[in-house]
Amino acid sequence: MVRRAGRLRTLWTADPVSLLPRPIRDRVPAVTALIRDRMPEFRSPLRSTRVTSWLGIALAITFPVCFATGLVSHLIQHPPSWFDWPSAPTQLYRVTQGVHIATGIATVPILLAKLWSVYPKLFEWPPVRNLAHLLSRLSVFVLIGAALAQVTTGILNIARWYPPMPFFFTVAHHWLAWIAIGALLVHIAVQLPTVRTALARRPADPGEGAHPVHRRGVLGAVGAAVGVVTLVSVGQTFRPLSRLDLLAPRRPDIGPQHLTVNKSAVEAGVTRADDRYRLHIDGPRPRVLTLAELAALPHRTVALPIACVEGWSATGHWTGVPIRHLLALVGAPAGSRLRVESAQRGGLYRAATLPAAHCRDPRSLLALRLNGAELDLDHGYPCRVIAPNLPGVLQTKWVDRLVVLP
């Protein structure tokens, strides 16, 4: 047993060249010298372990923030049996998703600077010194791949440009996030001693490589880039900065009835059909209501935001029938959920489930009017769901059927 442990320790720390057959091992020095002579130089007075460490600390902050807020959004859209998302506070999802998108965009310049600061190490020779070094390098490649994939797919989703992604973005982005955060934790564990040593040195230490002025210049440039990209994109959530919203693909106040839309009626394949419209409500006492009968029911007006997963949000004044009134109309038992089905043709979110907490909330409406006027067709005419503290993708438009669920 002791002998076997010793062999494993030897393999873990051994130079991989020493494990090769002798004829090949004898040729390694000449091949190594040839490769080393042809490798480019990556020297720069701007690079240093200290700069790399500070950039790593920044990523160790932004990545967990993105991961936590993104996980919240994923659980709301694909809730497991143990997950329960409240209907209050009203602005909670608007804040969490706004932070998620803003932090993700701010991560881009930090990630690029971090890769710039360390990419010469990818060309070190020999590429592998022992098994432990091999596993360390593999974890770095996994982290780099997952991080770049997360940032790229996230930006494509914000822009709603899906042709480059031949997969369901939500699920892929979710699992990539787990891979990225796992690789990040491994990387932190491996690099923590190096980071502590680099930050413990005095800034003027000649062994640090880059001059303190250079280090401050690099970090200052990255910080300025983060500030600029945040300033020109966060306006889609933080309305006081909406006029500076140059990078975000949405101006929330531009669109029918001063509210933007993600999917139009043309895209959904929905046309206006007032006389033929019927709302089917399946429950203990099923009902079928015409548009006139819906309009005759008690109405309420509430101010609620539409908060989209792409990061934009805007508040509208919605008027309609409280969901809990419709549930009572068909004799739904207390604690019921509601499956909401749309008249749109296909789509991954053609139907959505409204949680019990939102069904009970008096602010959850089957809305017929927006900002004092009849719903525009692009906003879901003749009626749509609007509920507090839910992603816009679950606020189903063009509703034609409600199904009471236990």
Q: Could you report the per-residue pLDDT of 224-275, keeping only the tens digit for each? A: 999 999 998 888 888 788 787 777 777 888 889 989 898 899 999 999 888 8
Tell me: pLDDT of 118 over 60: yes
**Shared fold status for 49-244 and 256-405:** no
**Are β-strands 313-322 and 300-307 bridged in parallel, bridged antiparallel, or unpaired?**
antiparallel
Within 13 Å of residue 314, how many CA atoms lie on the same side as its CB? 20
Tell me: pLDDT of 66 over 70: yes
- The helix-helix angle for 49-77 and 212-231 (nearest 10°) equals 20
Instruction: Determine the average pLDDT of the residues in 21-28.
Output: 60
Tell me: pLDDT of 101 over 80: yes
Domain ranges of the chain: 49-244, 256-405
Provide the pLDDT for residue 37. 60
Give the tokens for residue 78: 């694909």
Instruction: Determine the average pLDDT of the residues in 37-59.
Output: 79
Provide the pLDDT for residue 151. 94
Q: How far apart are CA 85 and CA 79, in angstroms?
A: 9
Work out the mean pLDDT of the chain and round it to a whole number.
Answer: 86
- Cross-strand bridge partners of residue 391: 307
Collapse the DSSP code of 119 into the 3-class scheme (helix H, G, I; strand E, B; otherwise coil) and give the result.
helix
Q: How many CB atoms lie under 10 A from the CB of residue 347? A: 12
Instruction: Determine the average pLDDT of the residues in 383-391.
Output: 96
CA 187 to chain centre: 22
Domain 49-244, second-level architecture: Up-down Bundle (1.20)
Q: How far apart are CA 308 and CA 9, in angstroms?
A: 53
Longest dimension (CA), the chain: 91
How is residue 328 annotated by DSSP? H
Give the tokens for residue 54: 């500070």
Q: How far apart are CA 343 and CA 28, in angstroms?
A: 68
Tell me: pLDDT of 11 over 60: no
Query: What are the start-end ranges of the H helices in 121-206?
Result: 131-158, 169-200
Provide the pLDDT for residue 313. 92
Q: How far apart are CA 146 and CA 138, in angstroms?
A: 12
Residue type, 201: R
Instruction: Determine the average pLDDT of the residues in 319-347.
Output: 94
Instruction: Determine the average pLDDT of the residues in 82-88.
Output: 94
pTM: 0.86
Instruction: Determine the average pLDDT of the residues in 344-372.
Output: 93
Q: Could you report the per-residue pLDDT of 34-45, keeping only the tens digit for each? A: 555 655 666 777
Within 13 Å of residue 280, how many CA atoms lie on the same side as its CB? 9
Q: Could you report the per-residue pLDDT of 154-188, keeping only the tens digit for each? A: 999 988 888 899 888 999 999 999 999 999 998 88
Instruction: Determine the average pLDDT of the residues in 10-22.
Output: 56
110-114, 260-264, 303-307: range with lowest mean pLDDT? 260-264
CA 322 to chain centre: 31
Tell me: pLDDT of 10 over 90: no
- The CATH H-level (homologous superfamily) assignment of domain 256-405 is Oxidoreductase, molybdopterin-binding domain (3.90.420.10)
Provide the pLDDT for residue 149. 94
Tell me: pLDDT of 384 over 90: yes
Q: How far apart are CA 162 and CA 165, in angstroms?
A: 5
Rg from Cα positions in the chain: 28
Collapse the DSSP code of 351 into the 3-class scheme (helix H, G, I; strand E, B; otherwise coil) and give the result.
strand
